[in-house]
Amino acid sequence: MEDLITTITDFIQTQQFLNVIRAILIVVGGFIIARVISSFLVRATKSTLDPHRLMILKRGSYYGILALFLTAALIQLGFDLGILLGTAGILTVALAFASQTSMSNFISGLFLIAENPFQVGDLLQIGTTVGEVLEIDLLSVKLRKFDNTFVRLPNELLIKSEFWTLTKFPIRRLDLQIGVAYKEDIGRVRDILVEVADKNPLSLEEPRPLFIFQGFGDSAIEIQFSVWVLKDNYLPLKNSIQEEIKQAFDSAGIEIPFPHRTLYAGSMTDPLPVQVVASEFQSV
């Protein structure tokens, strides 16, 4: 027991012990300073940067400063800086080969941040997936769909695929596909649709509604009627204006035909004559 106490006492009095204490103090101080500086940078740039850029700035500054203090602590313990850098380089190459997908997502994330095609809170559509952007990381983008389910999209997928930012601009155009019977007066149909749009408080006066004659369908005249709306009112307008169009058409007697098809199989013919012939042979 006395030998153990003597060994500990001798170690405490050595320079190596002092170096360990200094290294611990450097690491603790690094955590504190990194947190303070990263928080200060976020507060200083909060009014000029969007949320996901603020998040990247905070994490980048925090881990960057912390890495410097950890390096200083290792040097204090007697590690050679050249050896540390060489080891870090070898580990970086090894990790790059071992996690090519992650590195590809990381690089794609840097491109997305630089290009800034969408922000947190935007509605994003890729393929059949539509959702609100919750978070933009260096590896993936997180979405919340309208049914409150969570979707994670790798950044590499976004770089390689076509996607739509539905709320990039303040206003959106709502396109309605409408079919009316061939007997209806197209000018009258146009006037009714424009009147419905003008009466709806969510529909913008400018730009004006757009009436496009799409063509002659199998059972209806096909029309596209487009109205402009603030992006936050898109779904409420889509729901209300279609109901108002149906009511207006019913009141005006405008027919919305259902799909139908008539088939002709040729002219009417007489049935084939059938004659029963008695057998000349009788069974024995």
pLDDT interval class at 93 (50, 70, 90): low
- For residue 221, list its beta bridge partners: 180, 216
Question: What is the pLDDT averaged over residues 95-108?
Answer: 72
Closest alpha carbon to 124 in 104, 144, 108: 144
- Strands 210-216 and 140-145, sheet pairing: unpaired
What is the span of the domain harbouring residue 77?
2-98
> Mean pLDDT of all residues in the chain?
83
Residue 19 lies in a domain: yes
Domain count, the chain: 3
C-beta neighbour count of 60 within 10 angstroms: 13
Quick: pLDDT tens for 40-57: 888 888 877 777 677 777
Residue 280 has pLDDT above 70, yes or no: no
Answer for the pair 182, 221: CB distance below 8 angstroms, yes or no.
Answer: yes
Highest mean pLDDT among 90-99, 155-164, 251-260: 155-164
Residues 147 and 217 in one domain: no
Residues 216 and 246 in one domain: yes
Q: Distance of alpha carbon 181 from its chain centroid, rounded? A: 39
116: alpha, beta or left? (left if phi > 0; alpha if psi -120 to 50): left
Residue 63 has pLDDT above 80, yes or no: yes
Q: What is the pTM of this model?
A: 0.62
Cα dihedral 238, 241, 247, 252 in deg (nearest 10)? -130
Alpha-helical runs (H) found in the chain: 2-12, 15-45, 51-76, 81-98, 100-115, 155-160, 186-199, 234-252
Q: Phi/psi of residue 163, each to 5°?
A: -140, 165
The whole-number pLDDT of residue 230 equals 95
Which comes out higher in pLDDT, residue 138 or 94? 138
CATH of the domain at 49: 1.10.287.1260
Residue 229 lies in a domain: yes
Residue 283 lies in a domain: no
Residues 90 and 6 in one domain: yes
| Tokens read off for 155 | 């950044």
Residues 176 and 137 in one domain: no
Q: How far apart are CA 246 and CA 254, in angstroms?
A: 9
Residue 2 has pLDDT above 90, yes or no: no
Residues 152 and 186 in one domain: no
